[in-house]
Amino acid sequence: MLSVSRTSLAVVVLALAVASIVVLALVPSPVTPKPFMTLHGLGYEVDYYSVSAFNYPVIVFRGFMNSMPVPFTVSLFAIAPNHIYTVGYYSGYGSVVVNLTGSLVRYIASRWVSEFNGALNPSLIAFITYGEGNKTWTVIAAIPYKPSWVVSQEPIEITVNANFTAVKPVIVMPVTKPTGTTQSKPTNGPGSDPFGYTYVGSCIGNPNVTYPPPPQQPPTCARYGFQCYYWALQQCSLFKGPIPLLFVGWSKNAIQNGVSSIFIDYMGGGTAQSGSGLFGTLNRSGNLILVGPTITFSQSYTIETSTATSQVCIVYGPSLTFTGGSCPANNIPSPIYYVPSSGFFYIGLPGRVAYVAFQEYVNNYGYSTPLNVWANGTEPLSLSPKDFAGNYLLVYPYIDVGNGSITGMFAEVLHAYEMRRQLVVSLDDGYNSVANVSACPSPLYGYQELTGNLAFVEYTLGNAITAYSPRPVNIAPLLESLLPGVYVGEVPTIVGHLITGAGTVSTIAGAFIDTNHLLIGANVYVNFNPSSSSSFYITLIGSPQATNPGGSSSIYPMGMIINASNYYLGLRECER
């Protein structure tokens, strides 16, 4: 019996051996497709093949959850030299094929070829989303391509493998704990929830949600008509967390070797005038729209700090520790954050921010059809009652060591910078300890040398940043930056600066603030030892100017970054 089974097994083995030889002969031949280029991003991988199942350029999207194919949708955008176009929305089970044969894609590719002569490889941006229950996972993939492939319709196949397991769900289950997490507490010290935002619930039906201006195409739905266009709110997710206003960031080398301490006095003493407020930001087909103000101050408030002391001291330490004591270098008693790495200190208003997605519809004789036009963004919906005390508007301190909303904002700013070489924040070179000067003519600062080898550079943040006028935005700041909860995670280290290895980042609150009517001050003292400190550079950061419906200029989180090797991003700019 044994010998019979052994005989048959030997026959099988012989057959398998012959089959293996055939397969081995095929593997190195050109019949077998092999990627000629592979790229990775957070939760996705892009492979490029010149052997294709098609005879024109295509992108094959694949979506996996726990390594198994799942149904998913793809929202695909193409970046033209100065516009972002929606290529289309697709859905499928396990795989989705997008042909790069359409006239729009070919037009965009030809623009790149004609303007840059093929010297640049632009990207398509895909939002690949999988939903289950009330959770959605989105992988944002940047897909670089050679425009000539599209123009001459070469049979290039690009496969994009999206691994949803690698990203955090955008909408999570409502928090069932009755007590909120610590980000709404005055000081989110160590041990608190590191995430900047907590999902609260749906905000569909919330009266504070502000719709974008009516779609451009006339006629609108003002009268009962034969054809009209309107916006429908398709998604509204409410998050609880701080709306950042001012920040101070530092790199690890700067805090460890460059400066002795950063002392921040955010007493401010600014005012929020009656009628001023916070705006929402929406991205409609690549154009930034301000909506609101969604929160308006019904009376004038004096901006005041929430805590007993309005000072904080940031010092390098082996682990993140929050304690009281005297700030090293200047010996002023204050709360002290010992920080082991790069991070941000920021002040903000605890509140509720909504992620909203509006879809345009057309109504034909009473039949409504959705169009592929979306306006997505964030709107601050309400401030927390703890923000108010009589005639005072209270601001709260927060620390973000690589997992909070300011890190999230920079992750997305840098992501966009890498993708498009376009900065969505404005930089102004501040102080430079190597030359002991400011590179730009007049960011307002004070420099003083004290006894005992102590010197400091002082900035009054609000004034220093509004002293120069950031350039206006006329194209999309970014799709990504306006999507809260979108998990970018992987922060590109462009010139080896600030944020490296931020494992988890959440988002930004796109709260534009009317700077004509709301001003907060914070004095930042960067203390250092002029004889022994290594070099550091201060860069002032504001966001681009945008025009709100009332016509005045607006700005959102502003701050500064202290870097060790060069000005932040290594860009020398003097915006004025």
Partner 1 sequence: MVRSLFWFFVGFVFVSFVSSLWLLLSSVLTVMPIPLPYWLLYTPGNMVRAGVVVAVLMLVLYTYLGVSLVLSKMNRGFVPITMVFAFVIGMALLLVRQAIPALIMIIITYVMLIGTYIVIISIATSRASKALWETAAMVLALIPPMLMIGGLIVIDYVRYMAITEQATTIIASAIEAWKLGVGQ
* Residue 101 within binding range of partner 1, rule CB under 8 A: no
Distances (CA, A) of 223 to 177, 219, 227, 228, 363: 47, 9, 10, 9, 12
* Residue 37 within binding range of partner 1, rule CB under 8 A: no
Q: Output the CA angle 115-116-119, nearest 5 degrees.
A: 160
Identify each DSSP E strand in 147-284 by its residue range.
157-163, 198-202, 227-250, 261-265, 271-272, 277-284
CB 97 within 8 A of CB 120: no
Using CB under 8 A, which residues numbered 397 to 416 contact partner 1? none
Task: Report the residue from 1, 30, 33, 218 that binds partner 1 according to the rule CB under 8 A.
Answer: 33
Distances (CA, A) of 105 to 39, 87, 118, 120, 153: 22, 7, 15, 16, 11
* Residue 371 within binding range of partner 1, rule CB under 8 A: no
Show the site string, 269-308: x = touches partner 1 by CB under 8 A, - = not.
----------------------------------------
* Residue 21 within binding range of partner 1, rule CB under 8 A: yes
Distances (CA, A) of 320 to 274, 281, 315, 340: 39, 33, 10, 6
Show the site string, 465-484: x = touches partner 1 by CB under 8 A, - = not.
--------------------
Task: Report the residue from 81, 89, 94, 446 that binds partner 1 according to the rule CB under 8 A.
Answer: 94
* Residue 119 within binding range of partner 1, rule CB under 8 A: no
Task: Report the residue from 36, 82, 89, 97 that binds partner 1 according to the rule CB under 8 A.
Answer: 97
Stretch near partner 1 under the rule CB under 8 A, chosen from 153-161, 264-272, 530-538, 563-571 = 153-161
The Cα 437–Cα 440 span in angstroms is 9
* Residue 576 within binding range of partner 1, rule CB under 8 A: no
Rg (C-alpha) for the chain, rounded Å, is 27
Stretch near partner 1 under the rule CB under 8 A, chosen from 11-19, 250-258, 428-436, 446-454 = 11-19
The Cα 79–Cα 111 span in angstroms is 10
Nearest approach, Cβ of residue 30 and partner 1 (Å): 11
Nearest approach, Cβ of residue 464 and partner 1 (Å): 46
* Residue 88 within binding range of partner 1, rule CB under 8 A: no
Stretch near partner 1 under the rule CB under 8 A, chosen from 28-36, 216-224, 226-234, 245-253 = 28-36
The Cα 96–Cα 71 span in angstroms is 9
* Residue 163 within binding range of partner 1, rule CB under 8 A: yes
* Residue 161 within binding range of partner 1, rule CB under 8 A: yes
Stretch near partner 1 under the rule CB under 8 A, chosen from 12-20, 264-272, 430-438, 535-543 = 12-20
* Residue 232 within binding range of partner 1, rule CB under 8 A: no
Distances (CA, A) of 294 to 47, 122, 206, 230, 510: 44, 36, 11, 20, 12
Nearest approach, Cβ of residue 97 and partner 1 (Å): 4
The Cα 291–Cα 297 span in angstroms is 16
* Residue 19 within binding range of partner 1, rule CB under 8 A: yes
Stretch near partner 1 under the rule CB under 8 A, chosen from 30-38, 170-178, 300-308, 561-569 = 30-38
The Cα 208–Cα 229 span in angstroms is 22
Stretch near partner 1 under the rule CB under 8 A, chosen from 32-40, 171-179, 219-227, 507-515 = 32-40
- The pair of structure tokens assigned to 553 is 């200029």
* Residue 32 within binding range of partner 1, rule CB under 8 A: yes
Show the 3-state SS of 19-69. Answer: HHHHHHHHCCCCCCCCEEEEEEECCEEEEEECCCCCCCCEEEEEEEECCEE
* Residue 199 within binding range of partner 1, rule CB under 8 A: no
Nearest approach, Cβ of residue 163 and partner 1 (Å): 7
Nearest approach, Cβ of residue 35 and partner 1 (Å): 7
- The pair of structure tokens assigned to 509 is 């609150």
Identify each DSSP E strand in 54-172 by its residue range.
58-65, 68-69, 71-80, 83-93, 95-99, 123-132, 135-144, 157-163
* Residue 490 within binding range of partner 1, rule CB under 8 A: no
Nearest approach, Cβ of residue 493 and partner 1 (Å): 22
Structure letter (DSSP) for residue 172: P
Of 53 and 232, CB closest to partner 1? 53
Of 51 and 454, CB closest to partner 1? 51
Show the site string, 55-74: x = touches partner 1 by CB under 8 A, - = not.
---x-x-x-x--xxx-----
The Cα 544–Cα 415 span in angstroms is 17
Stretch near partner 1 under the rule CB under 8 A, chosen from 8-16, 292-300, 345-353, 535-543 = 8-16
Neighbours of 454 (CB within 10 A): 16
- Strand-pairing partners, residue 494, are none
* Residue 333 within binding range of partner 1, rule CB under 8 A: no
* Residue 129 within binding range of partner 1, rule CB under 8 A: no
Nearest approach, Cβ of residue 132 and partner 1 (Å): 17
- The pair of structure tokens assigned to 486 is 């979108």
Task: Report the residue from 42, 51, 233, 357 that binds partner 1 according to the rule CB under 8 A.
Answer: 51
* Residue 10 within binding range of partner 1, rule CB under 8 A: yes
Q: What percent helix, strand, coil does the chain show, rounded to 5?
A: 15, 45, 40
- 30 CB burial (10 A radius; 0-12, 13-18, 19+): exposed
> For residue 552, which amino acid is it?
S
**What DSSP letter does each residue of 248-262 carry, written as one string?**
EEE-HHIIIII-SEE
Stretch near partner 1 under the rule CB under 8 A, chosen from 44-52, 138-146, 536-544, 551-559 = 44-52
- The pair of structure tokens assigned to 61 is 């999207």
Nearest approach, Cβ of residue 15 and partner 1 (Å): 9
| Binding residues vs partner 1 (CB under 8 A) | 3, 6-7, 9-10, 13-14, 16-21, 23-28, 32-35, 38, 45, 47, 49, 51-53, 58, 60, 62, 64, 67-69, 93-95, 97, 157, 159, 161, 163
